[in-house]
Amino acid sequence: MLIRWLLFVLLLIAPAAWAGQTILVFGDSLSANYGIAAEAGWVSLLQQRLDRKPHDYRVVNASISGETTAGGASRIRAALGTHKPDIVIIELGANDGLRGLSLDATRQNLDRIMQACRNHKARILLIGMRLPPNYGPTYAESFTAIYPALAKKHRAALLPFLLDGIADRREWFQADNLHPTEAAQATIMENVWARLQPLL
């Protein structure tokens, strides 16, 4: 009798299982609120947008500042198992490019991440990045080309450039000239929203 009573109490106090759908943001510092308050970042703004719409979605931010595609590939399975997302927004690769890492390795790592998401039956939004011109046209163009090629291979939605409309506005970047300020976050969110909305 005591055991039945304890089970009844546990059922009362246990949080209800999430019945809606989950969007997993899997990125680097551009999504991890680097240098700004978490509630001001584009991921939080995305959740606010969803809350105003007739959607039953929650956004989980699994982004890590400094993350490379290799790091992402090593932890994607655990993230998928933990959060069980219906949609995964992949925003990785910038740190690979800025460090001049192997483009073949970057491509293979992103491919592994996307394949894991497909195996999980999650819809994918792949977010592309671009490199500054001082990296040389051959490397920079080859880097940019990774994203549409993988989006086509995995039949994923693609946002070609996260910082579209932002990259040429110096006042929208922090002192390091790499990370957008709070003022830029709404534009970033709108960029993402335009490509995410058809997946909802």
pLDDT in tens, 130-143: 998 899 999 999 99
pLDDT at 7 over 60: no
Average pLDDT over residues 154-171: 97
Please tell me the number of Cα atoms within 13 Å of 134 on its side-chain side.
2
Residue 68 belongs to a domain = yes
SS3 for 99-151 is: CCCCHHHHHHHHHHHHHHHHHCCCEEEEECCCCCHHHCHHHHHHHHHHHHHHH
Average pLDDT over residues 147-160: 98
Strand-strand pairing, 123-127 and 57-61: unpaired
- State residue 18's pLDDT score: 60
Residue 3 belongs to a domain = no
Domain region containing 114: 18-199
Which distant-in-sequence residues (6+ apart) come within 8 Å of 64 by Cβ?
28, 29, 32, 71
Residue 12 belongs to a domain = no
- State residue 17's pLDDT score: 64
Residue 13 belongs to a domain = no
Residue 42 belongs to a domain = yes
Catalytic machinery residues:
29, 176, 179
Give the CATH number of the domain where residue 119 resides: 3.40.50.1110
pLDDT in tens, 10-63: 334 444 566 799 999 999 999 999 999 999 999 999 999 999 988 799 999 999
Residue 11 belongs to a domain = no
pLDDT in tens, 54-95: 879 999 999 999 999 999 999 999 999 999 999 999 999 999
- Count of structural domains, the chain: 1
SS3 for 33-54 is: CCCCCHHHCHHHHHHHHHHCCC
Residue 38 belongs to a domain = yes
Average pLDDT over residues 119-138: 95
